[in-house]
Amino acid sequence: MYVVTRGCKMKDHFKIEGPAAISFSGGRTSGYMLWRILQAHGGTLPDDVKVIFANTGKEMPETLDFVRDCGTHWNVPITWVEYRAKTGEGKQYAIVDYETASRDGEPFAALIDDRKYLPNPVARICTVELKVRVMHRYIKSMLGFEEWTSCIGMRADEQRRVAKLSNQFEGSHETRIAPLAMAGLTVADVSEFWGSQTFDLKLPNMNGRTMHGNCDLCFLKGANQIYSLIKEEPRRAIWWMNQEKKIAESGVFEKATMASFRADRPSYKAMYEMALSQGEMFDYDEPLQDCACTD
């Protein structure tokens, strides 16, 4: 499909040919991408274009509400999937919904129990196993797609991440595209769109971005960002502290720094205690944003 703009024909990057999967992270950017794809198809997706949301169990409650609301307001089916530990010949994923979705990190904790180590900036097993491979397993086993296109919510102002799309993860069965980036759309366009809608993600909109997005205290976020989120709601740190404690007490690693999500900054327990004592963080690091868990 082509649209005419100022006398020139331009390809509609949101007219997606199936088989295809729309990876919906539950954030404003991927939500806008979904809306644009729906509009390009007259409000109804082709039968071989599916929307998938992979829940880690550590998404903010508002994120789950937003995924549900997008499906309801736009009348589009969204399949919710979660990681499950491998048991015999059983599938390593489960299909859930808004009511049955995990809300206390159960899929994430199960992955850590299986691997017996914590994900970190070098070994991002959480993204690979909880998001990418869970969706792949569902697509192959339930949808029967052997080759497909995956639509990823990345914008034109995220060229570093977009450039890495073709090199991420295994297999030649999947072609990854970023329709928003291909259409030249940026965070300003995302922010403008949601400002005009009757509903929105109920997390702070900081010029189109939110520091609360994706996993609540993801270790790829900046240390000061995580510390601010803990100060805002201290109980957010409990799950992350428990995972570090579990691996530290397992005896698998001799060095304590190996039993942490990040060895280059304070542990979640240290940040939690600092937050309770109203201490102040020092400058540690910038967010690492080249992750497949998109906005």
pLDDT digit string (tens) for 82-103?
Answer: 999 887 666 799 999 999 999 9
**Spatial distance between the Cα atoms of 231 and 211, rounded to a whole number of angstroms:** 14
Are residues 287 and 217 in contact, defined by beta-carbon separation less than 8 angstroms?
Answer: no
* Overall fold of domain 2-195: Rossmann fold (3.40.50)
φ, ψ of residue 98 to 5 degrees: the values are: -55, -40
How many C-alpha atoms does 131 have within 13 Å on its Cβ side? 22
pLDDT for the residue numbered 250: 86
* pLDDT tens series, the chain, 295 aa: 434 344 444 579 999 999 999 999 999 999 999 999 999 999 999 999 999 999 999 999 999 999 999 999 999 999 999 999 887 666 799 999 999 999 999 999 999 999 999 999 988 999 999 999 999 999 999 999 999 999 999 999 998 888 887 655 555 689 999 999 999 999 999 999 999 999 999 998 776 677 787 789 999 998 888 999 999 999 999 999 999 999 999 877 766 556 889 988 889 999 999 999 877 665 555 555 555 565 6
Are residues 230 and 238 in contact, defined by beta-carbon separation less than 8 angstroms?
Answer: no
DSSP the chain: -EEEETTEEEE-TT-PPSSEEEE--SSHHHHHHHHHHHHHTTTS--TTEEEEEE--S-B-HHHHHHHHHHHHHHT--EEEEEE----TT--SEEEE-TTTS--SSHHHHHHHHHHTS---SS--HIIIIIIIHHHHHHIIIII--SSEEEE----TT-HHHHHTGGGSSS-SSEEEE-HHHHTT--HHHHHHHHHTSS---SS--BTTB-TT-SBTT-TTS-HHHHHHHHHH-TTHHHHHHHHHHHHHTTT--SSGGGGSS-TTS--HHHHHHHHHTT--PPP--------SS--
Give Rg (Cα) of the chain.
Answer: 20
pLDDT for the residue numbered 27: 94
**Spatial distance between the Cα atoms of 21 and 46, rounded to a whole number of angstroms:** 11
Are residues 93 and 81 in contact, defined by beta-carbon separation less than 8 angstroms?
Answer: yes
Q: What is the pTM of this model?
A: 0.90
**Spatial distance between the Cα atoms of 164 and 258, rounded to a whole number of angstroms:** 28
Q: Where are the CATH 3.40.50.620 domain residues in the chain?
A: 2-195
Spatial CB neighbours of 161, under 8 Å, sequence gap ≥ 6:
154, 289, 290, 291, 294
pLDDT digit string (tens) for 205-238?
Answer: 776 677 787 789 999 998 888 999 999 999 999 9
